[in-house]
């Protein structure tokens, strides 16, 4: 996803690195972290998620509350359990919002339980969490704060904090650089399963008269 975001010019590599640091410290998915630090617009993330997962795009922003027919078709307990949210029904198909493609066994189980075809549509993880909170699923204070900022029409922005990068470095130390086996302090030897090197053929010299 980050490669697609950078490729489309939606965010820079420096912004992706800042979002990764934010993710290491506070958790959450990388897309929401990019939105939280003000590096990516919510609607842009929504569009790129649809492209990345190769799914039809769902409603933008806050998902509409389901009517009585949808609530009866998909109870809140089922929505919480499978992390999907009903958004629309046609004659033969139920459109459900999700932030990633449904696993095959989940989709099959939902189809057999509901007795109707499913059409997953892509929404951002943050908007899915907001919708599932109506079904009784917990939502964090951090997510609520970000939703309030987004709904106010103000683009989120987080001031750079020099101590945050240092804290991330302490919590997640860098992997030491690669060294050759012969330089390893524990003296690791090559595996016996590795193929033995073939002997090098040396061309024979012809005798001259």
Pick the residue with more confidence: 167 or 152?
Answer: 152
Banded model confidence at residue 168, pLDDT cuts 50, 70, 90: very low
With a pLDDT cut of 70, the percent of the chain lying above it is: 75
Distance of alpha carbon 184 from alpha carbon 204, whole angstroms: 39
| φ, ψ (nearest 5 deg) of residue 70 | -70, -40
With a pLDDT cut of 90, the percent of the chain lying above it is: 69
pLDDT at 156: 85
Query: Distance of CA 161 to CAs 25, 155, 157, 166, 168, Å?
Result: 12, 19, 12, 9, 11
Banded model confidence at residue 7, pLDDT cuts 50, 70, 90: very high
In the beta sheet, which residues pair with residue 121?
A: 97
Banded model confidence at residue 202, pLDDT cuts 50, 70, 90: low
Query: Distance of CA 8 to CAs 12, 18, 51, 64, Å?
Result: 10, 18, 11, 29
Residue range 110-131, pLDDT digits in tens: 999 999 999 999 999 999 999 9
Non-local CB neighbours of 198 within 8 Å, separated by 6+ positions: none
Distance of alpha carbon 156 from alpha carbon 37, whole angstroms: 6
DSSP readout, 159-172?
---HHHHHHHHHHS
Which of 98, 124, 11, 22 is CA-nearest to residue 3?
A: 11
User: What pairing do the DSSP bridges indicate for beta strands 93-98 and 117-122?
Assistant: parallel
Distance of alpha carbon 99 from alpha carbon 143, whole angstroms: 15
| b/e per residue 147-161 (b: at least 16 CB within 10 A) | bebbeeeeebeeeee
pLDDT at 189 over 60: no
pLDDT at 206 over 60: no
Mean pLDDT of the 169-192 span? 44
The per-residue pLDDT of the chain, averaged, comes to: 83
| b/e per residue 20-47 (b: at least 16 CB within 10 A) | bbbbbeeebbbbbbbbbbbbbbbebbbb
Banded model confidence at residue 91, pLDDT cuts 50, 70, 90: confident
Banded model confidence at residue 59, pLDDT cuts 50, 70, 90: very high
* Long-range Cβ pairs for the range 141-145 (8 Å, 24+): 142/26, 142/28, 143/32
pLDDT at 176 over 90: no
pLDDT at 195 over 60: no
pLDDT at 153 over 80: yes
Distance of alpha carbon 105 from alpha carbon 116, whole angstroms: 15
Banded model confidence at residue 200, pLDDT cuts 50, 70, 90: low
| CB neighbourhood size of 167 (10 A) | 14
């Amino acid at each position: 996803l980050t490669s697609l975001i950078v490729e489309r010019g939606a965010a820079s590599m420096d912004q992706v690195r800042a979002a990764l640091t934010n993710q290491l410290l506070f958790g959450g998915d990388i897309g929401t972290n990019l939105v939280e630090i003000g590096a990516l617009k919510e609607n842009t993330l929504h569009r790129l998620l649809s492209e990345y997962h190769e799914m039809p795009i769902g409603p933008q922003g806050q998902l509409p509350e389901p009517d009585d027919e949808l609530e009866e078709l998909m109870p809140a307990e089922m929505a919480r359990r499978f992390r999907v949210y009903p958004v629309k029904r046609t004659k033969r198909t139920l459109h459900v919002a999700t932030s990633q493609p449904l696993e095959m066994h989940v989709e099959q189980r939902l189809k057999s339980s509901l007795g109707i075809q499913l059409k997953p549509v892509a929404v951002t993880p943050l908007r899915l969490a907001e919708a599932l909170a109506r079904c009784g699923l917990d939502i964090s204070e951090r997510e609520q704060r970000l939703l309030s900022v987004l709904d106010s029409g103000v683009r989120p922005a987080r001031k750079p904090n020099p101590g945050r990068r240092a804290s991330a470095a302490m919590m997640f130390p860098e992997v030491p650089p690669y060294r050759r086996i012969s330089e390893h302090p524990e003296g690791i030897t090559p595996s016996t399963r590795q193929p033995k090197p073939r002997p090098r053929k040396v061309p024979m010299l012809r005798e001259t008269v």
